[in-house]
Amino acid sequence: MNELNALITLNSMPLLGSVKIQLLLQVFGSAVDALNASPEDLRKLPGFGSKIISQWNPEEATQTAELDQNLAHRFDAQIIPFTDKRYPKRLLNIPDFPILLYVKGDMTPSDHQSIAIIGTRSATHYGLEMAHKFGLELAHQGFTIISGLARGIDTAAHEGARKKGRTIAVLGSGLCNIYPSENKNLASVIAENGAVISEFPMNTPPDRQRFPQRNRIVSGMSSGILLIEAPVKSGAMITMRMGLAQGRNLYALSGRADIPNFEGNHTLIKSQQAKFVSKPEDIKEDFKGWLPTIKKNLEIKPAPPKLEREEEELLKIFPQDEIGIDHLASLANLPIQKLNVLIMSLILKKQVKEYPGRIYKKAHVAH
């Protein structure tokens, strides 16, 4: 079994998400070695409780992964791991980046110059018209347009962009289960000169809980995010908050004050968390030289990572200054192997920074 096959197998395991797979790779050195880990070794890892251990079945997952690869081959889809040079580099900057991307079509270096266009499924005629207009003109100016292939704003943005340039559709299901079904033809057209991508195995059905996961990829791949039309409580606003936490440039159109569908836009514009735009040139001017604006004093903060009890206890021991591994081991009174595992997990969760010589320091995280 090679490393890609092993990553696909890990990705097929129940209850394993990106962060846990990252931890396995850190601890065991490779996906192949992680699959060979004993239940006793796995129990030592933070977050690997009895529920995960009871469903740890590499042999069964290997069979599932083989079926997944066969489906990818049949559908002419690529499976791109996070270690591949084709993997979007910007996406690696989010803590829970996808371990794998299933891709129908092609990813290109020009996709680094990308704008996400998002909004409600129940859009007004004005919103649909503007999504199409911005998608078309920004694609014509060299941006790759990213959206989620949903009804409404997403569809209009894709339709506009594909006429003049590249667009990428990010799914909340596997590539075998295009959702909504009426966009199957659109997905095929997008793949001809862009890409349809998913982090989920090929035959994964659509599910409401997977759409927020999809949204972090939409924002994570983008240089900036344009909100066309959305109420305050909506998936599009969740994506905007994700983008804000990821340091992306945010943009929003304004709409009629008496239409609830634009309350999300107006909230972001009034709080100066999104820049008001009325034409595509308003966005393009921020990317001269492709240097995104750094936002300061953001009111919406990223949600703090969930820490296991042992991680919280170790973090309390850390002083404000740097500390060496030997001193930390004496303070924590833990076996060195256990301590190493906890430190690796805290580094992955950006709670601790590592310096040369096995020197560590508690990160200053604003919550």
pLDDT of res. 9: 96
Helix (H) or strand (E) holding 23, with range, is helix 18-28
The angle that helices 336-348 and 309-317 make with each other, rounded to 10 degrees, is: 90
* 236, 193 Cβ separation under 8 angstroms: no
Q: What is the pLDDT along the chain (367 residues), one digit of tens a residue?
A: 899 999 999 999 988 999 999 999 999 999 999 999 999 999 999 999 999 999 999 999 999 999 999 999 999 999 999 999 999 999 999 999 999 999 999 999 999 999 999 999 999 999 999 999 999 999 999 999 999 999 999 999 999 999 999 999 999 999 999 999 999 999 999 999 999 999 999 999 998 888 889 999 999 999 999 999 999 999 999 999 999 999 999 999 999 888 999 999 999 999 999 999 999 999 998 887 653 333 333 344 455 778 888 888 898 988 887 888 888 888 888 888 888 888 888 888 888 888 767 888 888 654 4
Question: 191 and 152, same structural domain?
Answer: yes
Q: For the domain that residue 325 is a member of, what is the CATH number?
A: 1.10.10.10
3-state percent breakdown (helix, strand, coil) of the chain, nearest 5: 45, 15, 40
Q: Where are the beta strands (DSSP E) in the chain?
A: 78-81, 100-105, 114-119, 144-147, 167-170, 195-198, 224-229, 249-252, 275-276, 323-324, 352-355, 359-362
State the residue for tokens 């430190």: 343
pLDDT of res. 365: 52
List residues bridging with 195 in a β-sheet: 105, 168
Structure-derived torsion over alpha carbons of residues 63, 68, 73, 79, reported in degrees to the nearest 10: -120
Q: Which of 257, 287, 317 is the last residue of a domain?
A: 287
Is 79 part of any domain? no
* 250, 262 Cβ separation under 8 angstroms: no
Residue span of the structural domain in which 41 resides: 3-74
What is the rounded CA–CA span in Å between residue 181 and residue 76?
19
Is 324 part of any domain? yes
Is 147 part of any domain? yes
Question: 334 and 209, same structural domain?
Answer: no
Give the list of residues 6+ apart from residue 175 with CB closer than 8 angstroms, or none: 72, 75, 77, 102, 104, 196, 198, 202
Ramachandran category for residue 108: left, alpha or beta (phi over 0 → left; psi -120 to 50 → alpha) = beta
Question: 230 and 192, same structural domain?
Answer: yes
The per-residue DSSP string of 220-287 comes to HT-SEEEEEE--SSSHHHHHHHHHHHTT-EEEE----TT-GGGHHHHHHHHTTSSEE-SSHHHHHGGG
What is the rounded CA–CA span in Å between residue 213 and residue 298?
22
* 147, 170 Cβ separation under 8 angstroms: yes
pLDDT of res. 294: 31
pLDDT of res. 296: 36
What is the rounded CA–CA span in Å between residue 320 and residue 361?
7
Question: 173 and 139, same structural domain?
Answer: yes
List residues bridging with 320 in a β-sheet: none
pLDDT of res. 303: 59
Report residue 209: phi and psi, to 5°. -70, -20
pLDDT of res. 364: 65
Question: 282 and 195, same structural domain?
Answer: yes
Closest CA relative to residue 276, chosen from 328, 212, 228: 228
Question: 118 and 11, same structural domain?
Answer: no
Question: 326 and 277, same structural domain?
Answer: no
Provide the number of structural domains found in the chain. Answer: 3
Question: 184 and 131, same structural domain?
Answer: yes
What is the rounded CA–CA span in Å between residue 218 and residue 64?
27
Is 87 part of any domain? no
Question: 280 and 341, same structural domain?
Answer: no
Neighbours of 57 (CB within 10 A): 12
What is the rounded CA–CA span in Å between residue 127 and residue 227?
10
* 300, 293 Cβ separation under 8 angstroms: no
Question: 204 and 259, same structural domain?
Answer: yes
Question: 235 and 121, same structural domain?
Answer: yes
Is 100 part of any domain? no
pLDDT of res. 163: 95
Is 84 part of any domain? no
Is 93 part of any domain? no
Global pTM reads 0.80
What is the rounded CA–CA span in Å between residue 16 and residue 13?
6
pLDDT of res. 288: 74
pLDDT of res. 117: 98
pLDDT of res. 301: 46
Tokens of 300: 């919406």
pLDDT of res. 297: 36
Question: 187 and 109, same structural domain?
Answer: yes
Is 80 part of any domain? no
Q: Which of 74, 94, 119 is the last residue of a domain?
A: 74
